[in-house]
Structure 1
């Protein structure tokens, strides 16, 4: 592990990392996360019976948009050419799980883009179903977004 923190210059000021000298590589990152919801809300999502509309399609669009705009929301994140985004939802017994895979060819990785896709996609799910989750006391006892993590990363030299 290096003693240098590359997002800070010799004066301690924040800086973007210079990747100009790096060779282009094919890069892929996969992130995953979940939103825990009540059984009735999970059933409504699975049946496409949520008052606000198609939860998973709306969340898929949100996830893809977030991937494409990560550089605008994460400080010092490079704007990278996204070559592919795949999203997958699994409505389980306790949660909706979202997996986002991002691919690029460039000088820096796409883990942040995959993580942004997951967190935004799950936030969209929450936005679509929050009215279903509120109990009689106005609380949200079941809902929780969590376990967001990078589950795969690969780099291979571009041809």
Structure 2
């Protein structure tokens, strides 16, 4: 029987966070990407600082971390979600929705009014997950990547 749970990572979990984050960057951008190279050189203190300044959640499948999502305050009224990722063999089982829900619940506990995120326009799987959770497109394009901005009122 497979047991899954979502857990918030703390500074003490920095090694787990580093491993999963670098797996996510390798899978989505590749090990030659500048973002991957920058984060691969982080010190323990830098990983701990990120966990101190941002909320990060992992989904554990039989106690193995298989995914990640992070959240940070944008303003007193808004939380921004980023870096939703699942290991390829964990996809298609509803785990992305569980991670997303944990991050949204964290935002609610911070008494914000809006949760925002960005998604590539051609990423229909991710967009479907966000829409199922109640997110709606807020702006057609954002930034140099021409991503869709999505928001949820909480």
Larger RCO: 1 or 2 (CA < 8 Å, sep 6+):
1
Larger Rg: 1
More helix by share: 2
Same fold (TM over 0.5): no
Scaled by the length of structure 1, the TM-score of the pair is: 0.30
More strand by share: 2
Scaled by the length of structure 2, the TM-score of the pair is: 0.30
